[in-house]
Structure 1
Amino acid sequence: MSIYVFHGWPQPDALAQQLGNDEQVELVIVAEKWPESLLAKSSAGQTIVQQWLEAKIFWQQQPVFSYPFRDAGKFTLIQPQVYEQWVQFNPGMACPTPLYSKFIYKPWFTLPAPLPIKSVVVIGAGIAGAATAFALAKRGIAVTVIEQHAIASAASGNHLGLLYAKISAHATVQTELLLAGYGYSHALLKNCLPAGQGWLNCGVIHLDYNVTEEKRNTLLAQQNPQSALFQTVTKAEAGQIAGIDVPYSGLWWPYGAAINPFSLIQVLLRHPLIQVLTATKVNTISRQNDLWQITCQNQQKSFYLDASHIVICAGAESNSLYPVAGWPLHKIRGQTTTASMRSEATHLKCALSGNSYITPAWQDKLCFGATFHPNQTDDNLSAEDENLNWQQLRQWLPHLAADLCPNTSPQGHAAIRCDAFDHLPVVGPVGDTSAMLTQYAQLRLDKNYPLTQPCPWQPGIFINTAHGSRGLVTAPLCAEAIAATMLGLPSPLSVRLQQALHPNRLPIRSLTHHQSFQLSI
């Protein structure tokens, strides 16, 4: 893997010649904005120009912006004012001068130095696990994925999910993550699956279904009048795009998509360096002779695997596994409904998002919902939730609801989503919880106490979970962040995002907020 750093945009033809045929390229460009024009004479240079022009569509002045580059690398644009901070924070990147020592980070929010990789096990075969395995495999790392059920069977099991970024008009951490993830997921999707084969390149209208949403959508459009990502549409324009009567104006996301998660996950896990063990439960994880030993059980036998690195991507089951067992992750039951259009009905042409969502038909089924029940863990289809989804649809799209064939019994998918207290994913390396609670106990008395002891890490343990209902947008980019930290590559995330998503925020919060923390082994 080759890392190239440019301060300013290189000329595409010269860059193509410099890179040659290297497909595992990590390209970092430090610049404030995109160049006014990109020109190339050679076919290789023109390919680079085309990739950059596609990436530019999704760039919204983020401080750090990443996009897939060639077959197994990525292109990262970093604004100069955050570059020094970013370089120091990422241990795999060489710091050319001691000037960067001016940035002082809380030790529990740093990153460990990369360890030699002997073998990697990913636990979970939803979108987070599949994307993590793929991010490593495309860089030549063999990965074993363990899934206790079937692939894409839990929170990633909906018939269709939406890919777009429901963002705030303000520069929040969540907005930065959703914008960054949206572009990355879209590129991954387009590179892996032809449109129509597992996803619909249909666009999404986020409707002004109440005063709050109308204000948010209007402010977004006003702040970004030249954006190619989204545009304001009137009620009439929304109806023209959707092909049906729509009761509201809204924000049109032309690059939005409706995705069958199983199709995407299946193709990601098809990589020759990925081995998938389904119907296999992880019973224990323990440290043995400088390796992790994972004891597993399937229908035939008990066995164990050794790994230098483990990535926990088990969604709502993540905090049942050592060394994050007992961590305070929230479980939220959700159920979507599927139904067919009546033969004489006008078909929906794009996805609509309001107080719920509905997709166009894929494999003769539309998907709509979803319900939201915190602290419920029953993942069986419920007649009550089926009725709630129909009731919501009839309230905001009565004509479309009337054009659907009623179900004689609940149809769709129910699952338990995983969420954290701040509604951000939990992504990155895992510290030794017990040691941190002891070493940083002074934070119970003073949350700003200037502790400097290095973080005690669980060597080679990472986690990628708590994506809630946004996993299609956030999980692939977070998988890239995991691979970057593990391999010492440029992170696709700004320091702000890396720290906001850091797993250690959960045990540290138990100290600063005087909460009990039930550790399980």
Structure 2
Amino acid sequence: MIKNAQIHFNLQGTPVADHFDDVYFSNDDGLAESHYVFFQQNNIAQRLQNHDRDFFSIAETGFGTGLNFLNTWLQFKAHIAHRQHDNNKVQNQYDKSVNRLHFISFEKYPITKSDLTQALKAWPQLAHLSEQLLANYPITLAGCHRLEFENGAIVLDLYFGDVQTSINTMSYPACGVVDAWYLDGFAPSKNPDMWQSSVFNSMVDISRSNATLATFTAAGFVRRGLIEAGFSIQKAKGFGRKREMLIGQLTQANQAHSAAPYFANDTATLNRVAVIGGGIASSSLLYSLAKRGIHTHHFCQDDALAMGASHNVQGAVYPHLQAKNSPHSEFFAHSFLYAKRLYKQLLAQGFSFDHSWCGVLQHAVKTPLAQRHENLDKKQLWPEELMHAVSAQQGDELAGISTGYPGVFFPLGGWINPPQLVNALFQAAKAITINTQPLNSEFNCNIEQLEKTDEGWMLTANINQKSKTFGPFSDVIVCAGEHSDQFNQTEKLPIVGVRGQVSHIKASEESKKLKTVLCHKGYFTPHYQGHHCMGATFEKNSKSRQVTEQDNQTNHKQLLSFYQNTAFAPSLGHITSAKAAVRCTFIDHLPMAGQWADQNDYMQAFANLRLGKRYQYNALQKPQQGLHILTGFGARGFCSAPLSAEHLIAHLNNEPRPFSERVSQAIHPARFIVRDLIRNKI
């Protein structure tokens, strides 16, 4: 569990860490010191104007009050404003100018939100940025929290946990991801763990060639450790009364990378991307691509979005957590928190969708569930803000009705209207592309064939019984749910189709008292438009979308079997309508996000895995290079698709990635092939 920092404020109003007995920033002028030591000494203002990528990446040891991040954000806004002001000049002078800022920061003991609010009052000139940071400040969950501002132009990856441990968990390419380092832990004499050679070596692992660093300290063992790690180091004039500080540069990246060869995703030049699908996965992808200004062409076989598994009237949004710190739990916890921040930002930007963040109450309706909840509570892996156990009395108070069941409560969860949310995300993507590369969409367009040519990927479509070809595209991303296996290239995609039907039942005066989403074996939502959503059935290996009366009765009987002794369940009215869809899943209940893995190619390249050898591999031939998969979200797409889309595009674009390496491998499209090779099954 992550522990918050214990702090107090000294007579000057400066926050002081009790554990380290050190200030978070200078008593004299912390903002001026931050600007001089980190922003100026890394020469960032000039580098933003001439860089080899359209984004610039900074990493920081010690987030503290976020002062360095906020100042860098402020300076980046000035950079963008200056470029826009000078748009009458020759446009080519800005060809290498940076459009996006990516800031990575590590914090072992995060400040509480209330303490952070007080600390940032010292900088009224940063208030317009501080308010946004505070509105998105994450709960104390270990791992990477991706926070986005300015329509994705500013990205903060805030890692809660020890810096060494955090870097060791990261997913990163051989070329590195960091352009500049802010070494800003507490003084080396008071916090020696952050100034070790192992940390410096890990910094090199994720740094790009010519990455720079700056730090307020000039301690000899710090200088020697950085030199031994590979940085060239020199002294510079310190800030204010400090005589010296250190600056440095890494001449050459060391080519370290986080993934085994069979789990490495290709990087790409995303010039023109085709996205196939019409649900939450495709809208999430379109939004991620739009934020980066990447020209995208979207293809949907239906006449509108969210006509497949995303078409229900109400969908519950909450994470699926286990009683262990597994890749599965990490994936869902961070995906849920990212999705929640994204949805709140959409609403703040004026996009609308019906919703209620009323919390989700998971009842222990059977002994196995009760045991699972007890185990979850006993392990205490998850912050209370994310999930906590409740007694029957506490649960009934939260729900507003009497059920008699204990359970676990997800206070940040709730329900959304899926079609409205998918459309809101789609409209947000289109709004971003007004001033960048266009987003084109084709509806009633069934893609029948994918073909890789020397020029790129070509797509053959059936539109109103007429064939039309689109392309070429540098990359194709298939996120078509249960239809993702319809192409020759993807026919071996091991999709498990699970048909589900949700019934809409009339609310009663008693049932209208329900204040939270209820989960039992299925789920039951608070009333909306005079009805509750009740469901859902599970029918494996079926792709039928036909609504049946039998499934309506199954849903009703299941609800009554658990709640027959309550006041609300027997009082419900008639079932007036229903919706059926096919959930696209895989056998491990995780999605796929990454480069399509050709089984024959893997069998030839990694044949030694059959012999128990993890070496002497052949190179992958990658016959389908540029073809990617994003699908398999089952019933949890609105919880997990947005961050999965971000991870995929970040991976392809050589950007810092939001998922850890173990999560990246857990959702890699090659995972089943690798497993079967190791087990000698193929």
Q: Same fold (TM over 0.5)?
A: yes
Which residue pairs with 2:263 in the alignment?
109
* Residue in structure 1 matching 2:415, options 243, 258, 271: 258
TM-score normalised according to structure 1 size: 0.90
CA separation of 1:84/1:245 partners in 2, compared to 1, >3 Å: closer, same or farther?
closer
Name the stretch that deviates more: 272-281 or 307-316. 272-281
Which residue pairs with 1:421 in the alignment?
587
Structure 2 residue matching 1:296: 3-state secondary structure: strand
C-alpha separation between the residues in 1 aligned to 2:612 and 2:537?
A: 37
CA separation of 1:515/1:158 partners in 2, compared to 1, >3 Å: closer, same or farther?
farther
* Residue in structure 1 matching 2:314, options 157, 160, 175: 160
- The answer to whether the 8 Å contact 1:24/1:70 transfers is no
* Residue in structure 2 matching 1:299, options 464, 477, 482: 464
C-alpha separation between the residues in 1 aligned to 2:675 and 2:338?
A: 30
The letter for the 2-side match of 1:363 is Q
Which residue pairs with 2:677 in the alignment?
511
The 5 A counterparts of 1:120-199 are 120-149=273-302, 150-193=304-347, 197-199=353-355
Q: Return the offset for 1:510.
A: 4.1
Deviations 1:413-468 (A, max 9, x none): 1111111122111111223443223332343x424442433433333222111111
The letter for the 2-side match of 1:67 is L
* Residue in structure 1 matching 2:476, options 307, 310, 319: 310
C-alpha separation between the residues in 2 aligned to 1:100 and 1:211?
A: 53
Instruction: Tell me the matched-pair count.
Output: 511
Structure 1 residue matching 2:424: 3-state secondary structure: helix
CA separation of 1:171/1:495 partners in 2, compared to 1, >3 Å: closer, same or farther?
same
Which residue pairs with 1:287 in the alignment?
452
CA separation of 1:88/1:188 partners in 2, compared to 1, >3 Å: closer, same or farther?
closer
Q: Return the offset for 1:11.
A: 4.8
- The answer to whether the 8 Å contact 1:15/1:45 transfers is no
The 5 A counterparts of 1:334-349 are 334-342=500-508, 346-349=512-515
Which residue pairs with 1:330 in the alignment?
496
Tell me, yes or no, if structure 1 residue 204 matches structure 2 residue 374. Answer: no
CA separation of 1:469/1:17 partners in 2, compared to 1, >3 Å: closer, same or farther?
same
CA separation of 1:466/1:104 partners in 2, compared to 1, >3 Å: closer, same or farther?
closer
CA separation of 1:426/1:35 partners in 2, compared to 1, >3 Å: closer, same or farther?
same
Which residue pairs with 1:246 in the alignment?
403
Which residue pairs with 1:485 in the alignment?
651
The letter for the 2-side match of 1:173 is P
Q: Return the offset for 1:99.
A: 9.1
Q: Return the offset for 1:158.
A: 1.4
Structure 1, unaligned runs of 5 or more: 517-521
C-alpha separation between the residues in 2 aligned to 1:385 and 1:442?
A: 49
The letter for the 1-side match of 2:63 is W
* Residue in structure 2 matching 1:30, options 106, 114, 133: 106
Which residue pairs with 1:354 in the alignment?
520
The letter for the 1-side match of 2:448 is N
User: Considering only CA atoms, is the larger Rg found in Structure 1 or Structure 2?
Assistant: 2
Structure 1 residue matching 2:513: 3-state secondary structure: coil
* Residue in structure 1 matching 2:272, options 77, 99, 119: 119
Which residue pairs with 2:157 in the alignment?
76
- The answer to whether the 8 Å contact 1:88/1:100 transfers is no
* Residue in structure 2 matching 1:213, options 357, 369, 384: 369
Deviations 1:280-308 (A, max 9, x none): 10010001223100111121632122111
- The answer to whether the 8 Å contact 1:92/1:487 transfers is no
- The answer to whether the 8 Å contact 1:243/1:347 transfers is yes
Which residue pairs with 1:434 in the alignment?
600
Tell me, yes or no, if structure 1 residue 275 matches structure 2 residue 440. Answer: yes
C-alpha separation between the residues in 1 aligned to 2:376 and 2:125?
A: 37
CA separation of 1:24/1:246 partners in 2, compared to 1, >3 Å: closer, same or farther?
farther
Q: Return the offset for 1:202.
A: 1.1
Q: Return the offset for 1:344.
A: 6.8
Tell me, yes or no, if structure 1 residue 16 matches structure 2 residue 44. Answer: no
C-alpha separation between the residues in 2 aligned to 1:448 and 1:111?
A: 21
CA separation of 1:281/1:87 partners in 2, compared to 1, >3 Å: closer, same or farther?
closer
CA separation of 1:100/1:52 partners in 2, compared to 1, >3 Å: closer, same or farther?
farther
C-alpha separation between the residues in 1 aligned to 2:61 and 2:384?
A: 26
Q: Return the offset for 1:118.
A: 1.9
C-alpha separation between the residues in 2 aligned to 1:90 and 1:197?
A: 41
Structure 2, unaligned runs of 5 or more: 1-54, 81-98, 179-205, 208-229, 231-251, 434-438
C-alpha separation between the residues in 2 aligned to 1:373 and 1:450?
A: 42
Q: Return the offset for 1:341.
A: 0.8
Q: Return the offset for 1:257.
A: 1.4
- The answer to whether the 8 Å contact 1:107/1:453 transfers is no
Q: Return the offset for 1:358.
A: 0.7
C-alpha separation between the residues in 1 aligned to 2:280 and 2:110?
A: 31
Q: Return the offset for 1:102.
A: 7.0
Tell me, yes or no, if structure 1 residue 406 matches structure 2 residue 571. Answer: no
Structure 1 residue matching 2:324: 3-state secondary structure: coil
C-alpha separation between the residues in 1 aligned to 2:642 and 2:148?
A: 11
Q: Return the offset for 1:328.
A: 1.6
C-alpha separation between the residues in 1 aligned to 2:531 and 2:544?
A: 24
- The answer to whether the 8 Å contact 1:25/1:70 transfers is no
Which residue pairs with 2:529 in the alignment?
363
Structure 1 residue matching 2:501: 3-state secondary structure: strand
Structure 1 residue matching 2:71: 3-state secondary structure: helix
Name the stretch that deviates more: 145-154 or 170-179. 145-154
C-alpha separation between the residues in 2 aligned to 1:173 and 1:224?
A: 13
Name the stretch that deviates more: 501-510 or 8-17. 8-17
Larger relative contact order (CA 8 Å, sep ≥ 6): 1
The letter for the 1-side match of 2:373 is N
Q: Return the offset for 1:484.
A: 0.4
Q: Return the offset for 1:137.
A: 0.6
CA separation of 1:376/1:514 partners in 2, compared to 1, >3 Å: closer, same or farther?
farther
- The answer to whether the 8 Å contact 1:330/1:419 transfers is yes
- The answer to whether the 8 Å contact 2:275/2:479 transfers is yes
- The answer to whether the 8 Å contact 1:202/1:255 transfers is yes
C-alpha separation between the residues in 2 aligned to 1:286 and 1:421?
A: 29
The 5 A counterparts of 1:62-101 are 62=143, 64-72=144-152, 73-78=154-159, 79=161, 80=163, 81-84=165-168, 86=170, 88-89=172-173, 93=177, 95-96=206-207
The letter for the 2-side match of 1:279 is N
CA separation of 1:127/1:107 partners in 2, compared to 1, >3 Å: closer, same or farther?
same
CA separation of 1:210/1:74 partners in 2, compared to 1, >3 Å: closer, same or farther?
farther
Structure 2 residue matching 1:269: 3-state secondary structure: helix
The letter for the 1-side match of 2:295 is A
- The answer to whether the 8 Å contact 1:433/1:507 transfers is yes
C-alpha separation between the residues in 2 aligned to 1:44 and 1:147?
A: 46
C-alpha separation between the residues in 2 aligned to 1:301 and 1:92?
A: 47
C-alpha separation between the residues in 2 aligned to 1:336 and 1:513?
A: 39
The letter for the 1-side match of 2:297 is T
C-alpha separation between the residues in 1 aligned to 2:258 and 2:65?
A: 36
C-alpha separation between the residues in 2 aligned to 1:202 and 1:303?
A: 47
Which residue pairs with 1:519 in the alignment?
none
Cα RMSD for the two superposed structures:
2.6
Which residue pairs with 2:16 in the alignment?
none
Q: Return the offset for 1:14.
A: 4.3
The letter for the 2-side match of 1:453 is N
